[in-house]
Structure 1
C-alpha cells in the first residue's frame, strides 16, 4: 500500500546572493518539482520576520517519488547553485500512518 508523504523543509537563503535572485531560483525549483512524476505539490513560503528563512511544502505520492526527486537534474542543479542551505526537514503522513 502506498501512503502520501508530506515534506516540510526549512531552508536558509544565501545572504551573499541577491535575495530576488534566490527567490527566483526557489520559485523555479518549485515549478520544476511540480513536473515530477509523483510530486503532488511543491510551494515555497517566506518568513517576513526572518527574511532568510524559506519553508518548502512538498507532497509526494509515495517514497519512490521522494527518492526520484533527489536524482532529478533540476534538483541537483538547484543544490549546486548554493542559493540556500538546508536547516531541517521532516516527513509526515495523514492520520499518523507510516509510509510503506
Structure 2
C-alpha cells in the first residue's frame, strides 16, 4: 500500500483578512500534523502573491484524508470562509501508473 499524496492551491477569499487567514492556516497545520494517518501537512505562502498558498499533504491512505475533514479543527477553519481551494492534485511516484489507495 502506498501513501496518498495531495497538493492543493488555495487563495484568500474576497473580503477576507490576510493576517486572520495566515493565523488560521498556521493553527490548522499545527493541529492537523498530529492527526492519525497524517504523514505531512504543510502550507506555504506565495512570496509574490501573499494571498495565495500551496498545500502539500501526505496521508497513509485516502480515508485518513477524508477523516481529516471530520475533525473539529478542520470544520472550524473551513467555517470561517477565509480561503478557497483553486485546485487539487492527487500525486504519485514519477512513472507510476498506480492509482491511489481507495481504502
TM-score by length of 1: 0.89
Question: Residues 11-26 of structure 1: matches in 2 within 5 Å?
Answer: 11-26=10-25
**Inter-partner Cα distance in structure 1 for 2:70 and 2:86:** 20
- Find the residue that maps to 1:3 and give its secondary structure: coil
Over aligned residues, Cα RMSD in angstroms? 1.3
Question: Residues 37-52 of structure 1: matches in 2 within 5 Å?
Answer: 37-52=36-51
1:20-75 superposed Cα distances (whole Å, 9 cap, x missing partner): 22101001101111111001111111112222111011110111211111111111
- Point out where structure 1 has 5 or more consecutive residues left out of the alignment: none
**Inter-partner Cα distance in structure 2 for 1:94 and 1:37:** 23
TM-score by length of 2: 0.87
Partner residue in 1 for 2:99: 98
Partner residue in 2 for 1:10: 9
Asked if 2 retains the 8 angstrom alpha-carbon contact of 1:14 and 1:22, the reply is no
Relative to its length, the structure with more helix (as a share) is 1
**Inter-partner Cα distance in structure 2 for 1:87 and 1:27:** 19
Aligned length: 99
